[in-house]
Every structure is written in structure tokens, then in C-alpha cells.
Amino acid sequence: MTETAGYRPLYRQVYDIVVRRVVQGVWKAGEALPSEQALARELGVSQGTMRKVLDSLTSEKLLERRQGKGTFIAENTQERALFRFFRMSRPGGERLAPTCGEETVKVRASRAIEQTKLGLARGDKVIEIVRTRLVDGRPAIREQIALPAALFPGIEKRGQLPNTLYSLYQTEYGINIVSAQEELRAIAATADDATHLGVVVGEPILLIDRVATSLQELKVEWRISRARCDDMVYAVTLN
């Protein structure tokens, strides 16, 4: 093996090497990997070990198999990221496609809760994104997003941000979102919710608290979403 990763199981060493190459940009999003056989020869491991690594990374959505074409670095396209990470639907399962409404983006000092959520130090700055997302042209979700400013330089100067941010993180900043931990609870709408979502103060709305983690196992986004639930549900399919 031409690269080493310490005294760990061989499978884990190979896994880490492949992930590191993706992080370092050796293979770009959408690019085909060398064949399983070629990678196994290069890294000095069996084809079975290489297949196990590629299968694991495919199940984790870092890679994707294309019938008859090979294995590719997965792209967080707008459509893919929306399907994977946006769970609001109509009752009965009809998937919704939100669009962008009003938005503000600014750099500011991080708060204690953001330091805890994102593993920041006191004095670190964050990018704060506050935006409304529309469904059928009607305000449906109000999001407050905090990003470590050091990871996203200049994002506040880009103008209107894309509907799905994860594709931007990948293509412009080399940050691949691979997982998100969410906590959901029902809360009573505030006066601010009434202003931005068109609900009645005290009406039940859904709060979604999400921390997104990158391929490098960094917590790179904390997002609070406040969603109307009069005609939307949070839908998950369990297999």
C-alpha cells in the first residue's frame, strides 16, 4: 500500500485513503473512479477488500454505481440534496419542492449555543443565513442557519443563495454533507412566526433542529427550521 494510516484494520486504512482523496480533490464530484481491480492493485489489497470499501462508501452516498459505467463520486445536485434532506410532504406522501423567498446573510460573532452545536471556540465567527422557503408560492418554512465562517469564506457576498445549499457547499467549498442529525418537536407559533409564515400566534408549528456533518466528520451547519403544519407533514420511510 503506497499510503498508510497507522495500525488499524486494513479495511479501515483503505476506507480512510479513499475518503482522504475525495476530501483533497484528487477525484472531483461526478468523476469516475479507477476500476475496482486497478484500485486494489494500486493500494496492494485484495479485490474483496476494495469491493467492501466501495460498497460501504456507496451506502453512505459518497459514491454511486452507474450500471455498465462504473463507480462515480456522488454529486450533491440540487435535486439529489433536496430529495435526500428535505422531508416535508403533503399528508399521504406527495413530496414537496420548496422555492426561495426572502433571505438575509451576514457574518457575526458566534453565540454560546452555536459554539456548542458546531464545536467552535469563543471568538469564532459564523455566517448567519435567515430565509423563508415557499411552497406553492406561500411561506411555509422559516430557516435560521449558522455556518462556521472559516469554512465558507465569502459566501455572504454571493447574492441570492441557491434553494438547496448542500450542492453549493460541495462545488464551491469542497464540503460534502454526508449525514444530518435532526430533532423534531411541536411548538407554539410566536409573533415572528405569524409575520413570516402567515400563521396565528399560538398555533402549533413544527421545529426541526438539524446539525449537518461533512465527510471530514466536521459539524458544518446548524439549522433551525420552523414549519407550518396545517397542510404539511414530516415524512420518513423506514426500511
Q: What tens digit of pLDDT does each residue of 128-139 get?
A: 999 999 999 999
- DSSP-derived 3-state class of residue 68: coil
d(CA 148, CA 201): 32
Span of 64-68, 189-193, 204-208 with lowest mean pLDDT: 64-68
What topology does CATH give the domain 78-234? Chorismate lyase (3.40.1410)
For domain 10-73, give the CATH number: 1.10.10.10
Give me the residue spans of the domains in the chain. Answer: 10-73, 78-234
Neighbours of 228 (CB within 10 A): 22
Percentage of the chain lying above the pLDDT 90 cut? 56
CB 192 within 8 Å of CB 205: no
pLDDT above 80 for 84: no
Q: Which of 32, 56, 30, 33 is CA-nearest to residue 43?
A: 33
DSSP β-bridge partners for residue 205 = 187, 228
Q: What is the separation of C-alpha 135 from the centre of its chain, rounded to a whole number of angstroms?
A: 21
- The cell for 109 is 460573532
The 10 Å CB-count burial string (b at 16+, else e) for 140-156 is: bbbbebbbbbebbeebb
Q: What is the H or E stretch that residue 185 is in? A: strand 177-188
Q: What is the separation of C-alpha 164 from the centre of its chain, rounded to a whole number of angstroms?
A: 9
Structure confidence at residue 103 (pLDDT): 96
pTM above 0.85, yes or no: no
d(CA 152, CA 165): 12
Query: pLDDT-derived band of residue 4, with 50, 70 and 90 as boundaries?
Result: very low
78-234 shares the fold of 10-73: no
Q: What tens digit of pLDDT does each residue of 148-157 get?
A: 999 999 999 9
DSSP β-bridge partners for residue 93 = none
pLDDT above 80 for 2: no
Torsion of CA 113, 140, 96, 148, to 10 degrees: -20
